[in-house]
């Protein structure tokens, strides 16, 4: 405990010879009553589980009994008060019990003198020396006060009073009171530590909740952003497709439309990455595995980048085993994985560069007939492009991670694609790793997937945009979206009716029975779920296929599970529409 400088009060006390501390050692010594002390300490230990008020009151009751005093109490610094902090009698026992909560100054009181002298003191007739005790009744013949140590400053003082001139305190009383003061210090320090820990825990919990709320708000924002971006993308995409059909005989127009179409495709990929990132955060990005041929998946992935690779004069080489590879996987999601890796290679490889996709896997025909254990396939995508800086490699799969130079490129994206790729690879129980010797030294991506199976399947038929003629109802509160899609579908020979809200759609079906109704979920007043439910109730719509159009990351909903036959993400592709209409 730091020793404090002597104040004027301490000096005055010495001059008045009111300090009788030396008498404690000259008075007859008594044998310690350890049995009584042990019993008191056990009582105090049990009181530790109670409130501070109960624990301190038990403490002063013990001091009163063990010292055979007339009054006992504990004076603690009132830390809530302005400086200099006074003392408050927080617990009092005996004849002075009525003075609980009595406040005395720190610079003119027995407790103040004891803390400045940093040692137990015995005061004779303290009421005559300290103005703060003048009104205390009855008379105090002696007061023994010991400091209650603490860090960074003493907690206060523990004291006993005698109101009988025949009863004096001695060395043994000082030892007992000092022991109780040390117990008080330990108890108060534990309470303070617990309070501090609880406060920090509360702060940490508040921070965790704030972080969770921020993450939730971010996910909601990404989902809403994806929806808002898909809204205008849908009519632009449909209008471009319709314009390409109308301008079939104009190479110049087709060339200009091709540029716009490529840029819209880039926007669609960015929005899809955003939505998939949000689906991952909300646990809604799943894989649905079936048997298929890896060659078909690779062919579709390469097809997404072949035109751009040719435009940039890249040498794109695909190396696959001579035998067909049967896999148990989500073909659409794996196509997304390899398309993303190939797009990265195309984007970040200079003109004339080399890109290789190599497949290494055992022959499914060599797998024993009754062995169902999947074998591993290794897909390696290598380029001699820009490469990756060493300090960026450990963070390459983190959401929104990009090299500074990439942000300056027009086709740089948002840095979410590889995060989605890693999730999809993990969902197939696989592993992915990226290697690069540094900037300008190319990149190698290795994907390992335990998906090769013995089962034999046929090659998938080539995709076709041909859609059988049908009666189609389009319902969307964005006029441009329905108009552009209606033009495209009409050019393909379908009979199309449009509505901008639920009541208008219900009015149309009185004279127009659709084979398929494409309905935007998020419309004001009457949303898509309610419209679908009301259409189900119309006898003429019993065979109508109801398709939900949504731009949100979560494309399914328990609420709409019974109303809709399927969901399509806006803008729906011609392949998706063709699949729906063929059913």
Q: Tell me which H or E stretch contains 507.
A: helix 502-508
Q: Which of 167-181, 261-275, 459-473, 486-500 has the highest mean pLDDT?
A: 167-181
Neighbour tally for 154: CB within 10 Å: 21
φ/ψ bin of 174: left (φ > 0), alpha (ψ from -120 to 50), beta (otherwise)? alpha
pTM for the predicted model, two decimal places = 0.47
Domain ranges of the chain: 8-169, 229-283+464-583, 286-452
Confidence of residue 36 (pLDDT cuts 50, 70, 90): confident
Tell me the average pLDDT across 294-299.
89
CA 211 – CA 48 distance, rounded (Å)? 36
Question: What mean pLDDT do residues 93-107 have?
Answer: 90
Closest listed residue to residue 274, CA positions, set 457, 399, 409: 399
Q: CA 261, CA 241: separation in Å to the nearest integer?
A: 8
For residues 138 and 579, give the distance between their C-alpha atoms in angstroms, rounded to a whole number.
100
Residue 354's pLDDT is what? Answer: 94
CATH class of the region 8-169: alpha beta
Crossing angle of helices 52-66 and 171-246, rounded to 10°: 170
Reduce the DSSP state of residue 548 to 3 states and report it: strand
Does CATH number 2.60.120.620 belong to domain 286-452? no
What is the pLDDT at residue 395? 81
- 538: tokens are 């119309």
Question: Under 8 Å CB-to-CB from 503, ≥6 apart: which residues?
Answer: 526
Q: What is the pLDDT of residue 96?
A: 94
Picking from 270-274, 412-416, 562-566, which range would have the lowest pLDDT averaged per residue?
A: 412-416
Q: 145 pLDDT band (50/70/90 cuts)?
A: very high
Is the pLDDT reported for residue 561 higher than 70? no
pLDDT for the residue numbered 191: 81
Q: How far apart are CA 170 and CA 214, in angstroms?
A: 65
For 98, the 3-state DSSP assignment is helix
pLDDT score, position 571: 66
Residue 468 reports pLDDT greater than 60? yes
Mean per-residue pLDDT of the chain: 81
Cis link prior to 455 (omega < 30° from 0)? Answer: no
How far apart are alpha carbons 412 and 404 in whole angstroms?
10
- What average pLDDT does this structure show over 90-118? 90
User: Which of 359-363, 460-464, 515-519 has the lowest average pLDDT?
Assistant: 460-464
Average pLDDT over residues 416-426: 82
- Check if CATH label 3.40.30.10 holds for domain 229-283+464-583: no
Decide: 394 and 436 in contact? Cβ < 8 Å: no
CA 96 – CA 73 distance, rounded (Å):
9
CB 361 within 8 A of CB 452: yes
Q: What is the pLDDT at residue 304? A: 80
Q: Kindly tell me the sign of the dihedral angle through the C-alpha atoms of 363, 366, 368, 370.
A: positive
What does the block give as tokens for 392?
A: 């960026």
User: Mean pLDDT over residues 288-295, rounded?
Assistant: 86
Helix (H) or strand (E) holding 195: helix 171-246
Task: Pick the more confident residue, 397 or 528.
Answer: 528
130 closest CA partner among 93, 166, 102: 102
Q: pLDDT at position 214, please?
A: 80
């Amino acid at each position: 405990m730091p020793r404090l400088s002597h104040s004027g009060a301490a000096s005055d006390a010495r001059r008045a010879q009111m300090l009788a501390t030396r008498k404690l050692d000259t008075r007859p010594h008594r044998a310690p009553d350890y049995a009584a002390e042990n019993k008191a300490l056990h009582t105090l230990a049990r009181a530790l589980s109670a409130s501070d008020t109960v624990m301190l009151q038990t403490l002063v009751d013990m001091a009163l009994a063990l010292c055979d005093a007339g009054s006992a109490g504990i004076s603690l610094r009132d830390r809530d008060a302005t400086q200099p902090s006074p003392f408050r009698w927080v617990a009092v026992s005996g004849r002075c019990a009525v003075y609980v909560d009595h406040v005395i100054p720190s610079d003119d009181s027995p407790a103040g003198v004891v803390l400045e002298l940093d040692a137990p003191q015995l005061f004779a007739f303290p009421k005559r020396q300290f103005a703060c005790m003048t009104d205390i009744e009855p008379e105090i013949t002696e007061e023994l006060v010991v400091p209650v140590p603490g860090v960074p400053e003493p907690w206060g003082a523990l004291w006993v009073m005698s109101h009988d001139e025949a009863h004096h305190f001695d060395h043994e009383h000082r030892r007992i009171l000092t022991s109780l003061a040390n117990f008080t210090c330990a108890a108060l320090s534990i309470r303070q530590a617990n309070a501090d820990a609880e406060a920090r825990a509360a702060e940490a919990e508040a921070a965790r909740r704030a972080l969770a709320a921020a993450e939730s708000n971010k996910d909601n924002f990404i989902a809403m952003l994806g929806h808002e971006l898909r809204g205008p993308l849908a009519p632009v995409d449909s209008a471009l497709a319709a314009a390409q059909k109308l301008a079939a005989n104009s190479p110049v127009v087709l060339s200009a439309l091709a540029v716009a179409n490529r840029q819209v495709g880039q926007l669609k990929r960015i929005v899809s990455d955003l939505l998939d990132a949000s689906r991952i955060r909300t646990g809604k990005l799943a894989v649905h595995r079936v048997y298929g041929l890896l060659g078909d998946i690779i062919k579709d992935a390469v097809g997404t980048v072949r035109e751009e690779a040719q435009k940039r004069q890249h040498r794109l080489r695909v190396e696959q085993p001579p035998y067909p590879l049967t896999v148990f996987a989500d073909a659409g999601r794996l196509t997304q994985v390899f398309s993303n890796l190939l797009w990265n290679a195309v984007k970040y490889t200079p003109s004339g560069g080399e890109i290789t996709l190599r497949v290494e896997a055992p022959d499914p025909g060599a797998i024993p007939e009754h062995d169902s254990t999947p074998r591993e396939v290794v897909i390696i995508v290598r380029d001699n492009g820009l490469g990756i800086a060493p300090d960026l490699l450990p963070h390459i799969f983190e959401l929104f991670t990009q090299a500074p130079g990439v942000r300056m490129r027009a086709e740089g994206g948002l840095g979410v694609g590889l995060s989605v790729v890693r999730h999809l690879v993990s969902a197939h129980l696989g592993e992915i790793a990226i290697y690069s010797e540094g900037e300008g030294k190319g990149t190698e991506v290795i994907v390992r997937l335990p998906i090769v199976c013995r089962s034999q399947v046929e090659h998938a038929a080539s995709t076709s945009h041909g859609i059988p003629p049908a009666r189609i109802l389009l319902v969307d509160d964005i006029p441009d979206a329905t108009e552009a899609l209606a033009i495209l579908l009409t050019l393909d020979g379908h009979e199309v009716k449009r509505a901008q809200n639920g009541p208008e759609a219900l009015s149309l079906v009185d004279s127009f029975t659709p084979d398929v109704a494409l309905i935007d979920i998020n419309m004001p007043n009457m949303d898509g779920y309610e419209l679908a439910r009301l259409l189900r109730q119309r006898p003429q719509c019993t065979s109508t296929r109801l398709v939900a159009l949504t731009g949100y990351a979560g494309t399914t909903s328990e609420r709409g599970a019974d109303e809709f036959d399927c969901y399509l993400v806006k803008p729906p592709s011609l392949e998706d529409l063709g699949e729906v209409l063929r059913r």
